[in-house]
């Protein structure tokens, strides 16, 4: 009874429940902007319009910035938790922890993410939008790949770290998004400077897949974090 009262006073919130709200919201928002843009003939259908193109029209520009900017802090929290969780698991099974620079790099990329989203507006985008988007997507890709490889090695060391199904889902998503990047970058490099339209198609494919697939990768973490709580604790 005393512990129940203590928990009620301190307060805690289950992390996987938050993820089931926030991550699907981030996945569905680009589909909403796409539907609005295409149905109102503001943009051509996929693969001729980037996520940004679909979001730079009213009212989807407001919805997109509202939902995605709020979730920038949530993504920072996810990066923080995943690295701390891996450090804990590595310590528990006596395996080398993940490299610290990956954590700081991932957290720093959130600034680029926030600038990318914040510069989307009905009047256009700023000069920082493109470079920040590229930097964020590249860091996000590297983070997903590094974490997938590390999780594979960690589970091979001790299978109690995560379920086989969870690891397979992460591996499939990581392998898929790597293949998309490799495929598109290859064909972009093969196209001549006069074939800008074809190059744009590959850029659209990379952007849409990077947004959706990486978010699904993040969502698979709920399989490990069902017992995780965000808590307010007294300073000792």
Q: What is the pLDDT along the chain (236 residues), one digit of tens a residue?
A: 445 444 444 456 678 888 898 999 999 999 999 999 999 999 999 988 999 899 988 888 899 989 998 888 888 988 998 999 999 999 999 999 888 888 899 999 999 999 888 888 767 677 888 899 999 999 999 999 999 999 999 999 999 999 999 999 999 999 999 999 999 888 888 765 555 566 688 889 999 999 999 999 999 999 888 777 776 665 55
Does 30 reside within a domain?
yes
* Number of structural domains in the chain: 1
- In sequence order, what are the residues at sequence separation of 6 or more whose Cβ sits closer than 8 angstroms to the Cβ of residue 176? 209, 213
**8 Å CB contact between 22 and 210:** no
Residue 2's pLDDT is 46
Does 160 reside within a domain?
yes
Does 41 reside within a domain?
no
Residue 92's pLDDT is 92
CA distance 20 to 166: 16
Does 191 reside within a domain?
yes
Q: Which residues span the domain enclosing 177?
A: 14-34+60-226
**8 Å CB contact between 105 and 120:** no
Residue 94's pLDDT is 93
Does 181 reside within a domain?
yes
Does 42 reside within a domain?
no
Does 112 reside within a domain?
yes
């Amino acid at each position: 009874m005393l512990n129940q009262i203590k928990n009620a006073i301190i307060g805690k919130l289950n992390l996987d429940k938050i993820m089931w709200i926030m991550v699907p919201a981030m996945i569905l928002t680009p589909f909403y902007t796409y539907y609005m843009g295409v149905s109102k003939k503001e943009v051509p259908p996929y693969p001729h319009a980037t996520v940004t193109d679909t979001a730079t029209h009213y009212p989807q520009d407001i919805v997109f910035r509202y939902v995605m900017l709020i979730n920038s802090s949530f993504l920072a929290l996810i990066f923080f938790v995943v690295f701390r969780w891996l450090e804990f698991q590595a310590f528990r099974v006596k395996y080398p922890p993940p490299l610290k620079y990956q954590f700081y790099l991932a957290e720093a990329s959130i600034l680029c993410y926030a600038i990318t989203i914040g510069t989307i507006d009905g009047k256009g985008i700023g000069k920082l939008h493109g470079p920040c988007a590229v930097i964020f997507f590249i860091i996000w890709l590297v983070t997903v790949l590094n974490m997938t490889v590390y999780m594979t090695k960690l589970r091979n060391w001790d299978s109690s770290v995560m379920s086989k199904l969870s690891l397979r889902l992460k591996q499939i998503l990581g392998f898929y998004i790597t293949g998309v990047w490799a495929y598109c970058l290859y064909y972009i490099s093969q196209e001549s400077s006069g074939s800008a339209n074809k190059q744009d198609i590959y850029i659209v494919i990379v952007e849409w897949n990077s947004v959706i697939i990486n978010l699904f990768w993040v969502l698979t973490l709920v399989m490990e974090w069902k017992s995780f709580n965000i808590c307010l604790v007294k300073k000792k």
